[in-house]
Structures are given as structure tokens and as C-alpha cells.
Structure 1
Amino acid sequence: MRSPRLFVEDLREGAATVRLGPREAHHLGTVLRLGPGARVRVFGSAAGEFEAEIRALDRRGVELALLGRIRPPQPARGPDLWFAPIRRQRLEWLIEKATELGVRRLVPVVTRHTVVEPRRPERLRLIAVEAAEQCGRLDVPDLAEPRPLFEALAQRPAERPLLFADERGDASPLLAALGRLGTEAVDLLVGPEGGFSEEERARLREMPEVVPVSLGPTILRAETAALFALSVVRAFAETRP
């Protein structure tokens, strides 16, 4: 049986013990029925992954003794995903699957056709944490505060290409665009359920760091478009030396 994995926000190399809260205690003690002496794994983006042993556990929390590092920290290399918030159930599914696919940062943006006001960021953060624990990655993607699209773009570093999924343009296929750029160090922008407005599309196409791309001949739902694009970028990255 694979050891349970727990994310520790402030995990530091050299620490002897860590103390986690009621969520982790409930998961270990009630769901998995583990107790003192059981082995688990803990991880954090700055320290890597460690084997640990449960020393004490009650409803208020769990104390773990760190036994040794299993994997060193690794830099987050996936793309940032810029997306317009969608309905709650589909948004939560998108956050979970994007985390599994290696997204580095989740950036919700408000566009003209955005119809859902983003809420409960703590819930979305928890979904990302649980997905990271399950899939084996060593970090949890950052979740930015929602902002209007062009206000957020004005603060974005321009040296990293932003691949804009343009469902109504004459853009090149995403994979072909990645091949021309010669790098997987890109970010992705997908629109809301109603698509981008003509004004937004025109402004995006005028920005030098924005690369319009096509995701195929059919119109995809917002969450499908995001996960398709992330999958293509990941597959492209894994074929490179």
C-alpha cells in the first residue's frame, strides 16, 4: 500500500517534527485508521518530500517525526493557467485536474462574458492541495486573486509567451505553435463559457507576447479547453531532451 502523502506549507529541511491540524488528523485517524507508529510522507515546495512517523494523534492535530528526505525539492516548471471562472462544480474539477497535469499557477481573470463571480478561494486551495497529495507532485500551484483580464495582463512579465486559445481566429494549432517557439516555458489563456468578446480578441492579438493558438476544429467547453491545452504542453515538454 502506498504511504499517504500530506502537504506541509512551511516544511523546512532540518526540522525534527511537524505538527498538522484537524484536517490531516481526521484523514489519518478516521479515514485511514492510522495511529502512532504508522509511516506517512510529507512534502513542501521548499524542502522536498520526507518519510515521517506518527508520534501522536487526536482530534486537534497530529505530530509527525521526520525520518529522512526521500526526494529533494524541484522547481515548478509547468505553465500558468489563465482562465475565466466557471460554475462551481466544473471549476473545482478543473482545479483538481490542472494540478494533476502540473500547472504552476492558477490565474482567474474576469472577462466581458464571465458570468460566474469567483468565490471561496480557500475551498479551491484545498482542492489543489488534495490533488497534489494524491498525484505525487512536490508543490501546490499558487492561486491568484481574481482580477479583470487586462489589469492582470498589465502586471504579467512580458518575456514569457502567453498562448491565447482563440476559437474563432485563423491561429495555428497549439502543438505547431509550441514547436515554433521551441520551449514549453509558456502560459495559457482560455476564455469563459461565452468566449472572448471581439474587442478582447483584438486587444489580445495586438500584444507582442500573446500567441493566438487553435485547440482544434470543435468548440470546447471552458474546462475542456484548459485541460486539453495543459495536456498538449505537458506532452510536448516530455518529448524534449
Structure 2
Amino acid sequence: MADDDFLSSRLFVDEALTDGGALTLTDAPANYLRNVMRVAPGQALLLFNGRDGEWAGRVEAVEKKRVQVAVERRTREQSPPTGVDYLFAPLKHARLDYMVQKAAEMGAGRLRPVLTRRTQATRVNLERMRANVIEAAEQCGVLAVPEVLDPEPLDRALARWPEALPLVFCDEAAEQADPMAALRPIAAGPLAVLIGPEGGFDPAERTALLRLPGVTRISLGPRILRADTAAVAALALVQAARDGAPPPN
């Protein structure tokens, strides 16, 4: 990441990006460039769409309802999906915004809201979540933009859990004192991380979790963390374990 360009403006686009291509941006992207970034003709920027890598572009024209951008050259190849599913009980308003943004920054590949028995916020604004994911990706140099899935009840997700996908269950009662020791054996491949709601899991949910094959319980320390803080702590541990893990066979 040391060679990446974090000074130029980065913009997520839906359109395909190709050598010598041209984009006509309207609606939200055009409004962002024109009224927030206040771009002018000739200004350079970086473009990405989560599929084609990162591309250098240049503003050609700024009009009332659209911005014309020339695509010049690829600056970074597309990175693969991270293979990390992040499951979480939705929170309310600003705290959910924060958690979603941090999950995107910390390497989550898919965001999966799950409704537990103690979930306080049962209505999820998926468009707002996706907007927060894109904003985090734009600001942090992320190319593999996390996918945002529809919410589902936790018991339904557990009932059809694939045996080949390890599940990291953040549990304050975990016996393993060293979370890194628990994560290293599973960190190299795809895995999922689950953070519960405020107030923790219902006893029946905890029992269902512990019955799953391949579940790994980790502790996030001696203090009780808020759910949004726990998300950052857990994903940071997973990222550190993956960085130090040998590649899968």
C-alpha cells in the first residue's frame, strides 16, 4: 500500500473501466464531483468500480447535470475479494454507519446483517449501508468493495451454515486467552466473523452457535465492548492473523 496514491480524489463508478474509455457521469457521482470536490476541466482523479482495478482519469468537462471524464490508464490491478464475511446485529443510525465504514476499511468482503433475539434495530437501510461502504472504499484505497447482503434472522443463517466456512464467534466467556492463537490455524482461508447485539446473545442462540462444526470462540479482552468497538477489534485481530498466516495449500 506504500506506493498507492492517497492524494488524488477517488471515485467509485458503476460503469466499466477500459483503456481510453470515456464516462458521462450524472446524478450522485456528478453532484459529488461538481459540488463537493469542485473539480475543474483538466483535473486528475482515480476511478474504480470493484471489478476492473483502479484507473487514472481526467475531467474533460463540467456541465450543469453531468461531468465528462476520460479514462487514461490502469494504476492498480483489481484485488480479489477478501474472503471475510462479517455478520453483525444491526445498530441504530450513526453507530451503524460507523461500524459499516470500519468493517469496509478493516477488510470485510461481505457485510451480513443478522437479526438476533436481542437486536434493537430491526429495520436496516441497505442503500445507506452501501453508500457508507463506497465512501469508506473511496477514502481508504479499497478496490474489492464489500458486498452488502439483505438482513436475515440469525437462526436461519446458522441452520444452513456451510461446514467448510469457519465461524469466529466473539464471546466474552471464551476459554482461549490468546485470540491470535485461536485464529492463526484458520486465518489463511475464507472465514466469517460474528458480533452480537448490545446485551449479548440469547442462551438459545449461544447454544446453537456452539453446536456448529468449525466454530472458533475468541475473547476481545477483559472489558465489555460496545458492538461497534467490538467490530473494529475483532476484524483487526482477523486481519493481523491473516497477514501472518501461511498461504492455503
Same fold (TM over 0.5): yes
Q: Is the 8 A contact 2:187 2:245 kept in 1?
A: no
In structure 2, relative to structure 1, the CA distance for the partners of 1:164 and 1:15 (3 Å cut) is farther
RMSD: 1.9
TM-superposed deviation, 1:171: 4.4
Matching residue of 1:220: 225
| Residue 188 of structure 2 corresponds to residue 183 of structure 1 | yes
> Higher mean Cα deviation, 180-189 or 217-226?
180-189
Q: Pick from 202, 219, 240 the counterpart of residue 235 of structure 1.
A: 240
Percentage of pairs with the same residue: 39
Which residue is 1:132 aligned to?
A: 137
Deviates more, 1:3-12 or 1:121-130: 3-12
Which segments of structure 1 move beyond 4 Å, counting only runs of 4 or more? none
From 7, 11, 18, give the equivalent of 2:12: 7
* Corresponding residue to 2:43 among 16, 21, 38: 38
TM-score by length of 1: 0.92
- Structure 2 contact 165–192 (Cα < 8 Å) conserved: yes
Q: CA deviation at 1:160?
A: 1.8
1:155-170 pair list within 5 angstroms: 155-170=160-175
Q: Deviations over 1:98-142 (max 9, x none)?
A: 111111111000001111123321111111101100000113211
Q: Read off the aligned partner of 2:92 and give its amino acid letter.
A: R
8 Å CA contact 1:43, 1:139 repeated in 2 = no
Structure 1 residues 32 and 121, CA gap change in structure 2 (3 angstroms): same
Q: Residues 184 and 245 of structure 2 are in contact (CA less than 8 Å); yes or no, is this contact kept in structure 1?
A: no
CA-to-aligned-CA distance 1:43-96 (integer Å, 9 cap, x gap): 122100000111222342222111011111110225211000011110100011
Kept in 2, the 8 Å contact 1:83–1:109? The answer is yes
State the aligned residue count: 241
1:96 to 91, 101, 106: 101
